[in-house]
């Protein structure tokens, strides 16, 4: 039984898939999990192989889970029948499984996505090959070496006294209100990104920026850097290209917000608990 404290050991990569190893299986963007076991638990490789005839030559090493080698596999989307497995996107696991298991699924998906999008050299177009036991790909013609890309993003809860700023993103059918977020630009510090993103998205100035925590976010390959900041000046003017609506809320008037398993939910919960 996999416990809440189980962590994926990525200090060493496995070398060859074995029948008793763990396997994370994806069909397109959806992760496939067994209908018979605990939610989100990876497959025994031999069980997954019996269902989908996995191509072990394309197995992507993930690390070690509970002392056993762990791999990621991608199968064609039309090969999933739904009889033995539950199919769902990664976000459907958020809050349903413990954080360590969610991040293991996320790592598996990120590495599969990285392999799929780096089969050819981005510099000269030649095929790449796996090096460093799966930690990188390299071009045999121009020697370009590429490691899995992680895109840093800041996510910030802006407060004004006892009120917090929450916004609904433009273009989403399922509407909820979240903290502000954005990608870092080359040459920026995290704090500079916080100030720029808040200004770009809602038109206000912030200060007293404090780091909170971070979270891997496999959609498809971000790491979210959480911050608190305080309003300094300006009125809320949402950027319509990014924000549908933004308002100050207090504890008694909170709109639908992200789950506490997300870093946005954690920022909101921490702010409210401190009040």
Upper half-sphere CA count for residue 193 (Cβ side, 13 Å): 22
**Predicted TM-score (pTM) of this structure:** 0.90
Q: What is the DSSP string of 141-190?
A: TT--EEPPP-EEEEEEEEEETTEEEEEEETT-SS---B-EEEEPPTT--H
Number of H helices, E strands in the chain: 4, 16
Kind plus residue range of the DSSP H or E element containing 114: helix 99-117
- Provide the phi-psi class of 28: left if phi over 0, else alpha when psi is between -120 and 50, else beta: left
Q: List the domains of the chain with CATH numbers.
A: 8-117 (3.90.79), 151-273 (3.90.79.10)
Q: State the burial class of residue 194 (Cβ atoms within 10 Å of its Cβ: 0-12, 13-18, 19+).
A: buried
**Tens-level pLDDT at each residue, the chain (275 residues):** 333 446 899 999 999 999 999 999 999 999 999 888 788 999 999 999 999 999 999 999 999 998 999 999 999 988 766 667 888 889 889 888 989 999 999 999 999 999 999 999 999 999 999 999 999 999 999 999 999 999 999 999 999 999 999 999 987 755 789 999 999 999 999 999 999 999 999 999 999 999 999 999 998 899 999 999 999 999 999 999 999 999 999 999 999 999 999 999 999 999 999 97
């Amino acid at each position: 039984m996999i416990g809440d404290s189980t962590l994926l050991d990525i200090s060493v990569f496995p070398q060859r898939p074995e029948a008793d190893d763990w396997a994370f299986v994806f069909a397109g963007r959806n992760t496939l999990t067994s209908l018979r076991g605990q939610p989100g638990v990876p497959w025994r490789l031999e069980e997954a192989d019996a269902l989908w005839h996995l191509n072990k030559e394309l197995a992507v090493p993930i690390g070690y889970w509970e002392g056993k080698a762990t791999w990621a596999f991608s199968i064609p989307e039309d090969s999933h029948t739904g009889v033995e497995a539950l199919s769902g996107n990664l976000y459907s696991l958020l809050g349903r499984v413990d954080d360590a298991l969610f991040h293991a699924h996320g790592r598996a998906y990120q590495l599969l996505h990285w392999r799929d999008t780096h089969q050819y050299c981005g510099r000269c177009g030649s095929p790449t090959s796996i090096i460093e036991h799966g930690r990188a790909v390299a071009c045999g013609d121009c020697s370009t070496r590429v490691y899995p890309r992680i895109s840093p993003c800041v996510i910030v809860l802006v407060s004004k006294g006892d009120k917090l700023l929450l916004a609904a993103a433009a273009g989403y059918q399922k509407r909820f209100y979240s903290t502000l977020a954005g990608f870092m630009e080359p040459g920026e510090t995290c704090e500079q990104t916080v100030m720029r993103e808040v200004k770009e998205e809602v038109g206000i100035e912030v200060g007293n920026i404090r780091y909170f925590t971070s979270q891997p976010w496999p959609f498809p390959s971000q790491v979210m850097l959480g911050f608190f900041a305080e309003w300094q000046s300006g009125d809320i003017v949402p950027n319509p290209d990014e924000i549908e609506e933004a308002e100050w809320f207090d504890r008694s008037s909170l709109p639908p917000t992200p789950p506490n398993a997300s870093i946005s939910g954690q920022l909101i919960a921490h702010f409210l608990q401190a009040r």
